[in-house]
């Protein structure tokens, strides 16, 4: 069996290297066994040690891979050829699928600070008593210290603060904000704002309340709008607040009807006086970046507008993990998501004049995840005109033994980052 396997692998490799990668496909890098040449009109360009990509341009016969350009270090710490910053003079004329010229750094990079979402299940069942504030005064982790470290030592500038809807109203659907519970959550929000970072208020309910879907047999759009009216009224004057309408909707029977529920939330937020902050619009299939177009989320959310009819600061919320089943539950990573998810999505975004924000991504603190995450980060950096950034999952109250832990370890006044954060995810 071993001999047959070796021969099979050798045959596959021999065939694969004679194929050609498509425009924006991978063409080299450490561990790459696929095609190493590109289709006509593109050149194999070194983005980092692990990922060479076919970019618009023409390669010379003597030097088909661009390796001599100076390098810079983007978010994630992986060197990127400066030749990718602008299209070569021989590149095809610009179109909505072309890489941008000088896209600039990613706008927002950070980590989730989990704890207030504890007690929530994917069916939207959240028990208020299950929430565990990631703050020392509530006997949780030092979330405030973590965020300060991430900003000062790692260069992060955004934190996502997941919270259950039930916690905010103390398990009363349609109820007002519970003063005691909201004071605890606001303590985390204020700790976040004190760092100078942007802070995402993320309603972590999977488009549900106790198993029933918003606007489709469960909470009404009016009840959904009401909770967002209350939240937005409280934070309307904070320009660093970002409103995450809903975490990971899934198994939504009617995506267009879900779009109407999202519209109700957007209208409520804007009419509450939060007129300029970013609002994140989530799609179906656990807000999958890979399925965003094919499952109808792109079209359904593309018609959501501000009350004045504009789409200013309305950004699509997407997630993407790197493990074998895209669940974010496995320590090993098997993909950089570029061909299946990010490339189709970035083209759609560019062609439709929209932007997206990857608010959940991550992997184990393993060599495979360092390899693939570095590649994903580099790709997002190269497409920062339409991809605002990424937020890793997760720190806060997760122990260091958690499979996707990004929780730093504190020793005295020193914080030590998880391996994946150090290798790929921290901008510094």
Q: Which residues are marked as active site? A: 248, 360
- Cα–Cα distance measured from residue 222 to residue 234, given in angstroms and rounded to the nearest whole number: 18
| 9's tokens | 């692998």
- Cα–Cα distance measured from residue 368 to residue 377, given in angstroms and rounded to the nearest whole number: 14
Both ends of the chain: CA-CA distance in Å? 47
75 CB contacts (<8 Å, ≥6 apart)?
105, 106, 109, 155, 377, 381, 389, 425, 426, 427
292 CB contacts (<8 Å, ≥6 apart)?
283, 298, 316, 318, 345, 348, 356
| 201's tokens | 């208020």
- Cα–Cα distance measured from residue 11 to residue 311, given in angstroms and rounded to the nearest whole number: 51
- Cα–Cα distance measured from residue 151 to residue 73, given in angstroms and rounded to the nearest whole number: 18
Q: Which residues pair with 243 in a beta bridge?
A: 201, 279
């Amino acid at each position: 069996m071993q001999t047959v396997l070796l021969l099979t692998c050798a045959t596959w490799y021999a065939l694969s290297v004679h194929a050609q990668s498509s425009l924006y496909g991978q063409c080299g890098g450490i561990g790459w066994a696929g095609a190493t040449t590109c289709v006509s009109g593109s050149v194999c360009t070194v983005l980092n040690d692990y990922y060479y990509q076919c970019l618009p341009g023409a390669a010379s016969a003597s030097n088909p891979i661009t390796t001599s350009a100076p390098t810079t270090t983007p978010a994630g710490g992986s060197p990127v050829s400066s030749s990718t910053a602008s299209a070569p003079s021989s590149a095809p004329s610009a179109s909505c699928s072309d890489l941008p010229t000088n896209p600039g750094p990613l706008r927002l990079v950070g980590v989730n600070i989990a704890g207030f979402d504890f007690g929530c299940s994917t069916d939207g069942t959240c028990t208020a008593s299950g929430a565990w504030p990631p703050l020392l005064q509530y006997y949780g982790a030092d979330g405030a210290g973590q965020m300060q470290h991430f900003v000062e030592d790692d260069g992060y500038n955004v934190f996502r603060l997941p919270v259950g809807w039930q916690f905010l109203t103390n398990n009363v659907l349609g109820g007002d904000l519970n003063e005691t519970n909201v004071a605890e959550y606001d303590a985390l929000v204020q700790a976040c704002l004190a760092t100078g970072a942007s802070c995402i208020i993320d309603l972590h309910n999977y488009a549900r309340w106790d198993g029933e879907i918003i606007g489709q047999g469960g909470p009404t759009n009016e009840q959904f709008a009401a909770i967002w009216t209350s939240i937005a009224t409280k934070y309307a004057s904070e320009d660093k607040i970002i409103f995450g309408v809903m975490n990971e909707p899934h198994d939504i029977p009617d995506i267009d009807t879900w779009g109407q529920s999202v519209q109700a939330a957007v209208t409520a937020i804007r009419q509450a006086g939060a007129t300029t902050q970013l609002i994140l619009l989530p799609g179906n299939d656990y807000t999958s970046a890979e399925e965003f177009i094919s499952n109808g989320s792109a079209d359904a959310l593309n018609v959501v507008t501000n009350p004045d009819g504009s789409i200013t600061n309305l950004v699509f919320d997407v997630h993407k993990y790197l493990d074998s089943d895209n669940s974010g539950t496995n320590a090993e990573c098997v993909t950089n998501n570029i061909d299946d998810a990010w490339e189709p999505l970035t083209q759609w975004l560019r062609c439709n004049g929209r932007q997206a924000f990857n608010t959940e991504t991550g992997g184990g603190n393993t060599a495979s995840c360092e390899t693939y995450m570095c590649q994903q980060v580099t790709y997002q950096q190269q497409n920062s005109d339409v991809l605002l950034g990424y937020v890793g999952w997760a720190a806060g109250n997760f122990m260091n033994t958690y499979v996707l832990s990004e929780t730093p370890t504190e020793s005295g006044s020193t914080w030590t980052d998880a391996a994946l954060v150090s290798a790929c995810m921290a901008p510094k």
